């Protein structure tokens, strides 16, 4: 059954907004790339520059190790174990809130929207990061993957948020910076807003099927509330 509506633009009929975490709410570049480098070093793979590892930001880690370094499934699982050795104690906090995000969340919450986080990062890490940077109080539910690797696909995470909070997909919007966010949203029947201030390009987001694109944090609220204000 077709779950997707082909409107082509974000509308104001939704009441729930789901946010990706990495590259959308916070900039995790240092922590993720250094932790990936740590894991790769365990396999005697040297990295000349951390920017070579930016593609690891966003997608599930197991998939990334297999895609970007041709690891077997078993090697990829072990690489994630090595990654977490560093990330869980250090990399997690090598992070920073993207400028303008706290004000955006405050504004949307004051307008009556219910806010959620849907990330491929393990829930326990997402909760810790958002608490550390004092963003956790804005969200009704923070959902990520499980540490055992299950629920790592973005569509699975989004669907879990919808199911656990009794949200109808036509009343929800997904905001994210990578194609995985857009593809996951479409798979669940949500409209989706891509942002280019993270780690995905405008081309990536448009090709994935984003309904709208925001180039700056300050544009997001306007795109969401435009029709509400006009009405």
The residue extents of the domains of the chain are 16-27+96-230, 29-93
Q: Which residues contact 111 (CB under 8 A, 6 or more apart)?
A: 225, 228
Pick the CATH number of 16-27+96-230 from 3.90.700.10, 3.40.50.1000, 3.40.640.10, 3.40.50.300: 3.40.50.1000
Indicate which residue of 20, 27, 177, 211 is catalytic.
Answer: 20
Residue 149 is predicted with a pLDDT of 86
pLDDT per position as a tens digit, 106-160:
999 999 999 999 999 999 999 999 999 999 999 999 999 999 989 999 999 999 9
Residues forming beta bridges with residue 96, ordered by sequence position: 27
Q: Is 169 in contact with 12 (CB distance < 8 Å)?
A: no
* Helix pair angle (29-41, 73-87), 10° resolution: 130
Alpha-carbon distance of 12 to 188, in angstroms, equals: 18
Instruction: Please state the length of the chain.
Output: 231
CB 171 within 8 A of CB 13: yes
Name which CATH class applies to 29-93.
mainly alpha
Backbone dihedral angles phi then psi of residue 130, each to the nearest 5 degrees = -65, -35
In angstroms, the CA 167 to CA 170 distance is 9
Structure tokens at 134: 């004092």
20 included as an active-site residue: yes
Output the average pLDDT for the chain.
92
- Residue 139 confidence (pLDDT): 98
pLDDT, average across residues 184-212: 97
Tens digit of pLDDT for each residue in 11-65?
A: 457 899 999 999 999 999 999 999 999 999 999 999 999 999 999 998 889 999 9
Res 159: pLDDT? 98
Question: How far is 218 from 60, CA to CA, in rounded Å?
Answer: 28
Q: Is 141 helix (H, G, I), strand (E, B) or coil?
A: strand
């Amino acid at each position: 059954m077709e779950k997707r509506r082909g409107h082509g633009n974000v509308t104001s009929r939704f009441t729930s907004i789901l946010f990706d975490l990495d590259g959308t709410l916070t900039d995790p570049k240092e922590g993720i790339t250094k932790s990936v480098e740590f894991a790769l070093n365990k396999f005697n793979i040297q990295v000349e520059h951390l920017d070579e590892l930016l593609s690891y930001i966003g997608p599930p880690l197991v998939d990334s190790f297999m895609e970007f370094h041709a690891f077997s499934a078993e090697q990829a699982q072990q690489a994630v174990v090595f990654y977490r050795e560093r990330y869980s104690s250090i990399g997690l906090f090598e992070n920073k809130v993207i400028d303008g995000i706290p004000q955006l969340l405050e504004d949307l919450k004051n307008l009556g929207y219910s806010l959620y986080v849907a990330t491929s990062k393990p829930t326990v890490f997402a909760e810790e990061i958002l608490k550390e940077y004092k963003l956790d109080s804005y969200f009704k539910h923070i959902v990520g993957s499980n540490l055992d690797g299950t629920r790592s696909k973005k569509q699975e995470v989004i669907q879990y948020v919808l199911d656990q909070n009794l949200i109808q997909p036509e009343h929800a919007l997904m905001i994210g910076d990578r194609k995985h966010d857009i593809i996951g949203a479409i798979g669940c029947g949500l409209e989706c807003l891509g942002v280019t201030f993270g780690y995905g390009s405008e081309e990536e987001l448009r090709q994935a099927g984003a309904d709208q694109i925001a180039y700056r944090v300050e544009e997001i609220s306007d795109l969401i509330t435009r029709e509400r204000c006009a009405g």
